[in-house]
Structure 1
């Protein structure tokens, strides 16, 4: 059985758990809400006011993120509950029981999320596009319809960006080898033809930019680092 380990920074953030069990329960609830919906700064400010002693909202958020790391570490390492007690012996018995309940109840959610993340989804490896403009017709003398046609080349296997992505080198290959390679390419490749207008294309671009920005956030980095 692998040993459960946390970074020193995570340990420092988990030091906030040395408080009444009722407050730790609220932190655990906030940690799961973080996993599902992302950070909730207003909730952290409210918890900071409710917590005993002088606590800042940023400290609450760091503790919540450390709880997420603890949950993922325990799940991925298949550690038993006793490891949590050994890892955080400074916590009271009632707080350790809260953490055990938190980990046990949310383990299946994390396992399902990890399995979903490991699905070999299609990746975009190439893109061809064409701009079509209809400037006029017999019905309307003044008309401007802009349509963008895109052909997306998708693949489930990572590709070397320094070579042609979608062609197979046929030099010095037997027919059997080429047939096997082409069959493998068909099994992992998917071509998708998409046609859209300018407004829809702009909406897709904004959505992709938002997703890219979210992927660089602390929340996503913490989750990815804990999984890997």
Structure 2
């Protein structure tokens, strides 16, 4: 890229079509998802509001195409349309198959993050091996999120943008219930254990909330 100063007047005078084309080219060539701020800087310091408007236009334009423009964890990128994903699958999907313990841990982190290993074990009711957490981090679905400010300062875990991308979510606020996942067709065979783990987790939480006297 050129190191020359951007032509501010040219940036301000750019038409919506020119902005759309510039963003489209930038996102297509990008090696990783980009935030609105990085895109604005790449386009010569353009106002983020204009970039957001252009991204919305592009997302709508691509909504019926073979690739979609999506936002995941405040970062934008192109991805294959969900209904065409099966055309691009390869045998390496096997590396993402998780044990029941791993799917239970993933479910707990997703719906309770950030959580420590001790908190995960408290919810599951059994010990969690470090290997289980390592598998989820190697898969790119959870990450170290700092330390809890309590005695011992235990490490805490949270989900990653890759986790959101796999389940088609823009943020954790969009985590769906099981019925929504099933209706949207987002539960492929790899995710069946995750579904079962979520059902088990929900049942466990209901049990914790039941403080009534059964003998009454």
Question: TM-score if structure 2 supplies the norm length?
Answer: 0.30
Larger RCO, structure (CA 8 Å, separation 6 or more): 1
Larger Rg, first or second structure (1 or 2): 1
Question: TM-score if structure 1 supplies the norm length?
Answer: 0.29
